[in-house]
């Protein structure tokens, strides 16, 4: 059985803007019908990478292939295979929502009837039917964002690039976009997702690449990345500050690591090995020492903790805007 062609291959990619090295040796392979989450602080290289894949920015060296097509040598063929929602609106404000979608469909060589049908379907999908004949310049920010997303789906491209797709959307609209992405992936679309909402990446991504200073500092499934920053943790919310040292001494018998206490919230946290009846044993231990607790729970590490650990919580400068 022949090996399946990757949806996206990036190999040893470099891009500089003068003395600023935006992307440095990035290598990523994306399997078809999956979601790759691309995470990183401002200036990490995400947007530059997206622009390169989209054929909008030339790169210095390396290899970038979309469904087997070379981005540098076969740019028109690559553009025919991708849909893109950027961070900023790409709509004509002096046209209606319906006219924008119909125009984009026609530019993608979709027939007149099919273009009209596709525009109507997408307006219904994004709950914009009631505003379909309004000029886009009268839309709210959230409505424009939904229309932007609809525009990127007009051509049913096999690779969909979503750069901060749900910024500015209300929780219900965000959930609707998540559901739509899942449906598209099930139908065979591959999605490259950049997002500042780590919950979004955790919810949607099959694999994640964490970028920092232009390179990938970590790659893997969300569960694999979470395991890198430690496993299960126990959190105990104390009722009294005076119980802190006694509680820490008692809890550290359940872990080889040092416990941490947030003095303001009186919450003691430490990593533990998850075992049957661990939680009731901890509660009994603290009760025997007459330590008052408001709450106690076991939890897994979050993607937020992974991100902060792997990037050092750096807030880097924005990426250069040079095209």
Query: Measured between alpha carbons, how far is residue 300 from residues 46, 230, 269, 290, 307 in Å?
Result: 27, 9, 12, 28, 14
DSSP 110-157: --HHHHHHHHHHHHHHTT-GGGTTSBGGGS-HHHHHHHHHHHHTTT--
Q: What percent of the chain has pLDDT over 70?
A: 93
Torsions phi, psi for 299 (to 5 deg): -145, 155
Joined tokens for residue 18: 């003068």
> How far, CA to CA in Å, does 40 sit from each of 37, 46, 229?
10, 7, 17
What is the tens place of the pLDDT at every residue in 82-116? 998 877 677 899 999 999 999 999 988 888 999 99
For the segment 203-207, the average pLDDT, to the nearest whole number, is 95
In the CATH hierarchy, which fold is given to the domain comprising 232-298? Alpha-Beta Plaits (3.30.70)
- In the chain, CATH 3.30.70.100 sits at 232-298
**Of 232, 289, 235, 304, nearest to 265 (Cα)?**
235
pLDDT in tens, 135-162: 999 998 888 888 988 998 888 899 999 9
Q: What is the mean pLDDT of the chain?
A: 88
Q: What is the CATH number of domain 8-81+157-227?
A: 3.40.50.300
- Edge-first strand order for the sheet with 20-30 is 20-30, 8-17, 61-66, 69-70
| Ranges of CATH 3.40.50.300 domains, the chain | 8-81+157-227
Report, in angstroms and rounded to the nearest whole number, the Rg of the chain calculated over CA atoms: 24
275-287 pLDDT, tens digit per residue, is 788 889 999 999 9
């Amino acid at each position: 059985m022949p090996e399946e062609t990757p949806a996206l291959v990036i190999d040893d990619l470099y891009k500089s803007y003068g003395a600023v090295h935006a992307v440095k040796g990035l290598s990523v392979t994306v399997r078809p019908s999956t979601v790759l989450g691309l995470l990183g602080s401002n200036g990490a290289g995400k947007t530059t990478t997206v622009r390169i894949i989209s054929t909008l920015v030339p790169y210095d060296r390396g290899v970038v292939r979309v469904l087997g097509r070379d981005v540098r040598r076969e740019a028109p063929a690559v553009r025919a295979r991708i849909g893109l929602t950027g961070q900023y609106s790409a709509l004509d404000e002096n046209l209606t929502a319906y006219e924008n979608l119909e125009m984009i469909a026609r530019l993608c060589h979709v027939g007149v009837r099919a273009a009209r049908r596709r525009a109507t379907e997408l307006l219904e999908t994004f709950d914009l039917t009631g505003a379909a004949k309004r000029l886009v310049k009268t839309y709210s920010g959230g409505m424009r964002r939904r229309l932007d997303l609809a525009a990127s789906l007009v051509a049913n491209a096999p690779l969909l690039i979503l750069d901060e797709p749900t910024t500015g959307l209300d929780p219900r609209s965000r959930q609707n976009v998540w559901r739509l992405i899942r449906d598209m992936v099930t139908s065979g679309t591959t999605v490259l997702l950049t997002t500042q909402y780590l919950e979004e990446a955790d919810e949607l991504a099959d694999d994640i690449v964490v970028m920092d200073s232009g390179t990938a500092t970590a790659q893997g499934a969300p569960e694999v990345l979470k395991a890198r920053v430690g496993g299960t943790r126990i959190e105990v919310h104390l009722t009294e500050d005076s119980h802190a040292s006694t509680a820490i001494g008692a809890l550290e018998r359940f872990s080889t690591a040092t416990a941490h206490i947030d003095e303001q919230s009186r919450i003691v946290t430490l990593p533990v090995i998850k075992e049957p009846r661990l939680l009731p044993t901890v509660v009994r231990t603290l009760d025997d020492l007459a330590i008052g607790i408001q709450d106690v729970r076991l939890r897994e590490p979050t993607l937020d903790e992974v991100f902060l650990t792997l990037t050092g919580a750096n807030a880097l400068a924005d990426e250069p805007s040079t095209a």
